[in-house]
Structure 1
Amino acid sequence: MFKTLKNDIPASIVVFFVALPLCLGIALASGAPLFSGLIAGIVGGIVVGALSGSKIGVSGPAAGLAAIVLAAIATLGSYQNFLLAVVLGGIIQLIFGFLRAGIIGYYFPSSVIKGMLTGIGIIIILKQIPHFFGYDADPEGDFAFIQVDGENTFSEIFNSINYIKLGSALIGLVSLGILILWGNVLSKKGKFFQIVQGPLVAVVVGIIFYILTQSHATLSIGESHLVSVPVPDGVDSFLGQFSFPNFSQITNPEIWIVAFTIALVASLETLLCVEATDKLDPHKNVTPTNRELLAQGTGNIISGMIGGLPITQVIVRSSANIQSGGRSKMSAIIHGFLLLISVMLIPRLLNMIPLSVLAAVLLIVGYKLAKPSLFIKMYELGWKQFIPFTVTVLGIVFTDLLKGIGMGLAIGIVVILIKSYQNSHFLHIEDKSNGKHKIKMTFAEEVTFFNKGAILKELYSLPRDTYLELDVRNTTYLDNDIIEILDDFAVKAKERHIDIKIVSNRGIVENPESFVEFFKLKPKTA
């Protein structure tokens, strides 16, 4: 891990600047104390980062859980009761890990994962536009289409046009220019520009701009358009921001329902992000998913014990890490320490960072996730890839992350069913002889109940007086449903004067009395 520090330290700084406003924004959108988001970010970086098997994944509070957290705090009556649910949710995640439930992540189609990345990229861009222009009515971590303030993603953008703050917009544009220049030109000019990252320069310029324009009537940036980290008066005040679970409520069934919901949603979101992050990784590392569930469960136990929000692996931070050149888990761990040190030692300095500067950083992250060239590439791969990809993107943009993925997965399953229907067998007429049609039907390697409709259609559309040759030599799996269809068809075949010849690796059989008997020596296998 220490061999790649020259890559990981600059990347960790970028991830820190991306994570800071998101930790605060997600806490605000969740109806939780602002400091709880920072606790989750710190634990996600240091604890989960150290335990995880992912080299480039970054964990922290997740936007996908904000609505669940908001409802749960209201339902359970207090934040301390909710923290107990977070701890129990972490324990349930440990159980998932020991039961090896991490394999679930491998069953999501590539088109859906790519759609998830692209959809999140578009969401990041759309959600940051109001902050970029100084309109901050909505929490920065609220990624749902219908927002906590009642507006939706697009109405918020239109509203921001009427509330553009010149100072925020100007420093946002300057920051965006710095980031583009640094990434495309200066980073290729020397090691200094590779070690010192563009986002750090943009943040420094943003702080200087804020200080110099404080007394300017037009260019000054108000406190509502700056980062807002809680500022403690001393050690006691800092420690007073931590909260602890109310274990007296452990027998409350509502606590357990929330705990299981958190464990299930957090695990699913983590597994999806792991799959997506591994696809983004230029070095193609593979994350052990069961170990990731154990790491996330441990992180949630610790986060809940000290007052933090639930944790998942987060694609926004992970993609920022990858794009900034992070190579090992040290970048995630260092970003966690940066969060901890900064909120302890320099909260007032952090509160001078304009949100429009951080919005510019996230706009670059979003663009790299949702490049137009990816849409063209997916279109060229054909409709079987393009439709689930597009549905996932639209679902995420117009609903939320998990619903969008669910919609894409549903379409992906429909595509599989259609292709299974089409590819269960090959059917062609070879010739006509002795007044009978001679037809050969060759079954595919695996024929399952998905193929029932296609096979039934072809069998019962055969004309009378047909000679059917059924070739199952290449078939390694034949579902019992298909065997029963063939058995039923054998009866109809006699009535319609259809002769059947089975060609298999066990020999040739003319007009078998029973297909079930024929295949019973080796069930389901031809």
Structure 2
Amino acid sequence: MLSFKEIKHDLPAGIVVFLVAVPLCLGIAMASGAPLFSGIIAGIVGGIVVTLISGSQLGVSGPAAGLAVIVLNAIQDLGNFEVFLAAVVLAGVIQLALGFLKAGDIGYYFPTSVIKGMLAGIGVIIILKQIPHAFGYDENFQGNMHFLEPQGGTTFSEIFKAINYITPAAVIISVLSLFILIFWEQVLAKKSRVFQLIQGPLVVVLMGIALNVVFANFFPQITLRDNHLVVLPEADSIGGFFGLFTTPDFSGIFSYKVLFLAGTLAVVASLETLLCLEATDKLDPYKRISPANRELKAQGVGNIVSGLIGGLPLTQVIVRSSANIQSGGRTKLSAFIHGLLILICVMAIPNVLNMIPLASLAAILLMVGYKLAKPALFKSMYRSGMMQFLPFVVTIIAIVFTDLLTGIGIGMAVAIFFILKNSYSVSHFMHKEKSANGGELYHMVLAEEVTFLNKGNILRTLRKVPEGAELVIDYTNSAIVDHDVKELIEDFKETAHTKNIKLTIHKIDQEEAKVHTPL
């Protein structure tokens, strides 16, 4: 249910997310090789349909950059956008089933260091990707999150290329926009509640439109045109607007290509949603926990609806969600407002939206990126120790140089390495004391859970027991002792006499009684 108690915070946040979402929807549709309006449809469905069903208070859904390559290849492979839409509907059905099967719990198994690394990595990517737009070099589409550019080159080569194509008007707008955003947040918002209700990003967008109008009238040689502005499809009538929607072709829905594509979309979209859901909860100032299985169901319904009316597949998106949080959103009303605004403005005033300079939006996203990757976060993670810091940094670097899911996978591999290393190290506790006859008595107590991963560490310790010593191996308090470890101990028992070691094993037998087995 939507709550209007926080509307004074949710309304301005919803406006900001709407302004950020529109060019992202268009950019992702362009990158996907799909009709531009399909991105807008996904944004509307994500904002309205998914929000109404979702239990996430701050998550915002829409077309995802992470699916753009899959969608592009799928449309080319199928040769028909309408058949592709059928796969989107089927992917939604699969997601809905995953939600009922409680598959959403998988999101809880990602370590905090990787999730925080994902957020910081997205922040760095946003900054790097928006620098060219701030300079006025808008060849790269909004929403691209991959290191390798579709037209060739990399994220860094695009930045260097942008320096050679600086557009004065865009630089003026982006610099003034950044100044306004910083001054608004650091000074004005602290002085009066009026400046808290009227968000800086909205002022920045209006200022960008006004400045470009001034340029057009007095400095036409530097006026921003064409791809320097938001470009929305414009319908000349209500009938023309509804004509922009597309229905799916279900004739080939049971073909191998469509079934395989639907499964791929469902798995990738679900994983990206769960990761973004976890990350959004980390950013939530109220630390609310969103129900993951309900989110999968919401995304499933959203993809069914989106596919039925001609939209791209959608997920929960961290760029929009973080923009929502940074703009002061409190409840899911802000996400609903953003979806409603997309619908109303696309129907009523697309020509006004098409006056928004991309440089204004670049400034807004630069601030969002900075807040996600603040230096204070790096310092905090460093103080947490290498076990937290290394997966965090590796995740950031991997995301910047690959893409979101690949980067998270690499970060997870590093985190799992540390988990295995710790598991290897904490297999047992060994202490030495004097025995009754004055010799050395070694007491090895096994951990509560001992797996085959601990075998090497235990073997190394046993080899260090000197000749003629007494050794007690105790696993009476161990809930699980792997067969490999038991076999290792039995092998040591067979050879202990060769080093004149007196061995005693304390364990629990089948009757739950302690058995002492001296040699």
Alignment equivalent of 1:82, drawn from 81, 84, 108: 84
TM-score (norm 2): 0.96
Between the aligned partners of 1:97 and 1:484, the Cα distance in structure 2 is 42
Shift of 1:491: 1.4
Between the aligned partners of 1:296 and 1:464, the Cα distance in structure 2 is 65
Matched, 1:440 2:443: yes
Instruction: Kindly indicate whether the alpha-carbon contact (under 8 Å) linking 2:95 and 2:270 is maintained by their aligned counterparts in 1.
Output: yes
Moved more, 217-226 or 25-34: 217-226
Q: CA offsets per residue over residues 172-221 of structure 1, 9 Å max, x none?
A: 11111111111111111222111111111111111111111114244311
What amino acid does structure 1 have at the position aligned with 2:348? L
What residue in structure 2 maps to residue 143 of structure 1?
145
Matched, 1:114 2:116: yes
Instruction: Kindly indicate whether the alpha-carbon contact (under 8 Å) linking 2:91 and 2:300 is maintained by their aligned counterparts in 1.
Output: yes
Alignment equivalent of 2:375, drawn from 357, 372, 378: 372
Matched, 1:243 2:246: yes
Between the aligned partners of 2:424 and 2:146, the Cα distance in structure 1 is 37
Q: CA offsets per residue over residues 270-328 of structure 1, 9 Å max, x none?
A: 00011111111010100000000000000000001111111100111111111111111
Q: How does 1:90-239 map to 2 (within 5 A)?
A: 90-215=92-217, 216-239=219-242
Q: How does 1:29-40 map to 2 (within 5 A)?
A: 29-40=31-42
Shift of 1:82: 0.9
Between the aligned partners of 2:491 and 2:149, the Cα distance in structure 1 is 57
What amino acid does structure 2 have at the position aligned with 1:240? G
Shift of 1:394: 0.4
Between the aligned partners of 2:89 and 2:22, the Cα distance in structure 1 is 23
What residue in structure 2 maps to residue 491 of structure 1?
494
Shift of 1:507: 6.6
Instruction: Kindly indicate whether the alpha-carbon contact (under 8 Å) linking 2:506 and 2:517 is maintained by their aligned counterparts in 1.
Output: no
Matched, 1:296 2:302: no
What amino acid does structure 1 have at the position aligned with 2:157? S
Instruction: Kindly indicate whether the alpha-carbon contact (under 8 Å) linking 1:116 and 1:405 is maintained by their aligned counterparts in 2.
Output: yes
**Secondary structure class of the residue paired with 2:222:** coil
What residue in structure 2 maps to residue 17 of structure 1?
19
**Secondary structure class of the residue paired with 2:6:** helix
**Secondary structure class of the residue paired with 1:352:** coil
Q: How does 1:298-337 map to 2 (within 5 A)?
A: 298-337=301-340
Structure 1 residues 472 and 307, CA, compared in 2 at 3 Å: closer, same or farther?
A: same
Moved more, 107-116 or 218-227: 218-227
Shift of 1:482: 2.1
Shift of 1:408: 0.3
What amino acid does structure 1 have at the position aligned with 2:50? V
What amino acid does structure 2 have at the position aligned with 1:123? I
- Please list every run of 5 or more consecutive structure 1 residues that lacks an aligned counterpart in the other structure: 514-526
What residue in structure 1 maps to residue 51 of structure 2?
49
Shift of 1:496: 3.2
Between the aligned partners of 2:440 and 2:407, the Cα distance in structure 1 is 50
TM-score (norm 1): 0.95
Instruction: Kindly indicate whether the alpha-carbon contact (under 8 Å) linking 2:29 and 2:39 is maintained by their aligned counterparts in 1.
Output: yes
Between the aligned partners of 1:243 and 1:494, the Cα distance in structure 2 is 81
Between the aligned partners of 2:506 and 2:455, the Cα distance in structure 1 is 20
**Secondary structure class of the residue paired with 1:214:** helix
What residue in structure 2 maps to residue 405 of structure 1?
408
Q: CA offsets per residue over residues 215-270 of structure 1, 9 Å max, x none?
A: 42443112210000111111222112111111001121100111000000000000
What residue in structure 2 maps to residue 523 of structure 1?
none
Between the aligned partners of 1:460 and 1:45, the Cα distance in structure 2 is 63
Instruction: Kindly indicate whether the alpha-carbon contact (under 8 Å) linking 2:476 and 2:514 is maintained by their aligned counterparts in 1.
Output: no
Alignment equivalent of 1:28, drawn from 6, 27, 30: 30
Shift of 1:403: 0.3
Between the aligned partners of 1:488 and 1:296, the Cα distance in structure 2 is 54
Instruction: Kindly indicate whether the alpha-carbon contact (under 8 Å) linking 2:125 and 2:145 is maintained by their aligned counterparts in 1.
Output: yes
Instruction: Kindly indicate whether the alpha-carbon contact (under 8 Å) linking 2:169 and 2:222 is maintained by their aligned counterparts in 1.
Output: yes
Q: CA offsets per residue over residues 473-495 of structure 1, 9 Å max, x none?
A: 54333233322222222212234
Structure 1 residues 509 and 251, CA, compared in 2 at 3 Å: closer, same or farther?
A: closer
Alignment equivalent of 2:346, drawn from 340, 343, 360: 343
Shift of 1:437: 3.6
Alignment equivalent of 2:67, drawn from 65, 84, 107: 65
Instruction: Kindly indicate whether the alpha-carbon contact (under 8 Å) linking 1:172 and 1:359 is maintained by their aligned counterparts in 2.
Output: yes
Instruction: Kindly indicate whether the alpha-carbon contact (under 8 Å) linking 1:499 and 1:511 is maintained by their aligned counterparts in 2.
Output: no
Shift of 1:466: 2.5
Between the aligned partners of 2:260 and 2:189, the Cα distance in structure 1 is 50
Instruction: Kindly indicate whether the alpha-carbon contact (under 8 Å) linking 1:135 and 1:163 is maintained by their aligned counterparts in 2.
Output: yes
What residue in structure 1 maps to residue 459 of structure 2?
456
Instruction: Kindly indicate whether the alpha-carbon contact (under 8 Å) linking 2:435 and 2:470 is maintained by their aligned counterparts in 1.
Output: no
Between the aligned partners of 2:382 and 2:479, the Cα distance in structure 1 is 34
Instruction: Kindly indicate whether the alpha-carbon contact (under 8 Å) linking 1:167 and 1:218 is maintained by their aligned counterparts in 2.
Output: no
Matched residues, percent identical?
A: 58
- Please list every run of 5 or more consecutive structure 2 residues that lacks an aligned counterpart in the other structure: none
Shift of 1:433: 7.4
Shift of 1:371: 0.4
Instruction: Kindly indicate whether the alpha-carbon contact (under 8 Å) linking 1:166 and 1:218 is maintained by their aligned counterparts in 2.
Output: no
Q: CA offsets per residue over residues 352-377 of structure 1, 9 Å max, x none?
A: 00000000000000000000111111
Instruction: Kindly indicate whether the alpha-carbon contact (under 8 Å) linking 1:231 and 1:347 is maintained by their aligned counterparts in 2.
Output: yes
**Secondary structure class of the residue paired with 1:2:** coil
Shift of 1:450: 2.1
Instruction: Kindly indicate whether the alpha-carbon contact (under 8 Å) linking 1:146 and 1:399 is maintained by their aligned counterparts in 2.
Output: yes
What amino acid does structure 2 have at the position aligned with 1:201? V
Between the aligned partners of 1:342 and 1:413, the Cα distance in structure 2 is 47
Between the aligned partners of 1:500 and 1:287, the Cα distance in structure 2 is 53
Shift of 1:503: 4.2
Shift of 1:434: 5.3
Shift of 1:472: 2.8
Instruction: Kindly indicate whether the alpha-carbon contact (under 8 Å) linking 1:500 and 1:510 is maintained by their aligned counterparts in 2.
Output: no
Instruction: Kindly indicate whether the alpha-carbon contact (under 8 Å) linking 1:142 and 1:148 is maintained by their aligned counterparts in 2.
Output: no
What residue in structure 2 maps to residue 356 of structure 1?
359
Instruction: Kindly indicate whether the alpha-carbon contact (under 8 Å) linking 2:32 and 2:68 is maintained by their aligned counterparts in 1.
Output: yes
Moved more, 184-193 or 45-54: 184-193
Cα RMSD (Å):
1.6
What residue in structure 2 maps to residue 470 of structure 1?
473
Shift of 1:139: 0.5
Moved more, 381-390 or 468-477: 468-477
